[in-house]
Amino acid sequence: MADTAKVIKILKCISAKIRENEQFLTDLDAAIGDSDHGINLARGFKKVDEKLPELADKDIGTVLKQTGMALVSTVGGASGPLYGTAFMKAGAAAAGKNEIDIDDFLVLIEEAIGGVKLRGKAERGEKTMLDAMIPAAGAMKEERSKGADVKNILEAGVRAANEGVEFTKTIIATKGRASYLGERSIGHQDPGATSFTILLEAIEEEF
């Protein structure tokens, strides 16, 4: 079970991990994109960090919505609208909630996926963050159906997300700047799938 304070702690952990991996994510993007994924996300989560103190007495839906709005307003490129939409959709699903359990979390992930699909007009298999998000959600739901505990559910999600990142190395990019490379995008892992996996690792550590 996570209350507002726990969600804020998770967001701080996500921010720290993204900022630690800023150069790594930027280097991944340099190979197939605009060389700014890590820089942009780090800037966005710095803004989130600045907003969190004023959200301490808000419900979880508001915290997630405000996180999404901060990302949209400060993150350039495609990742701002995509991550922003993901958090805002999750926030809408958590509206009015002061606590969420693992079942709520799985709903939030599905809402986030729906938002990314809609905003990015993308599906699994196109070398995007969805190639980590969708397998992670599926693995977590499967573990939940088996009655696994929260730790094992989240660990299964992280494993599946990492496998999704590896899968992106094997396929041609068909979305965004990376699509211009065609077959030359094969062999490179998708930065968005990677940053989502880092985000999920932070959730696993702190939930």
pLDDT at position 184 is 72
CB-based contacts of 144, cutoff 8 Å, min separation 6: 102, 103, 106, 153
Q: What is the distance between the alpha carbons of residues 137 and 34, in angstroms, rounded to a whole number?
A: 28
The stretches in the chain having pLDDT less than 50 are none
Q: Report, in angstroms and rounded to the nearest whole number, the Rg of the chain calculated over CA atoms.
A: 16
Per-residue pLDDT tens over the stretch 73-102: 999 778 899 999 999 999 999 999 999 999
Q: What is the distance between the alpha carbons of residues 32 and 34, in angstroms, rounded to a whole number?
A: 7
pLDDT at position 77 is 78
CATH class entry, domain 2-206: mainly alpha
Distance, C-alpha 91 to centroid of its chain: 14
Paired residues of 2 in beta bridges = 100
pLDDT at position 178 is 65
Domain boundaries, the chain: 2-206
pLDDT at position 47 is 96
SS3 99: strand
Per-residue pLDDT tens over the stretch 166-183: 999 999 888 676 666 677
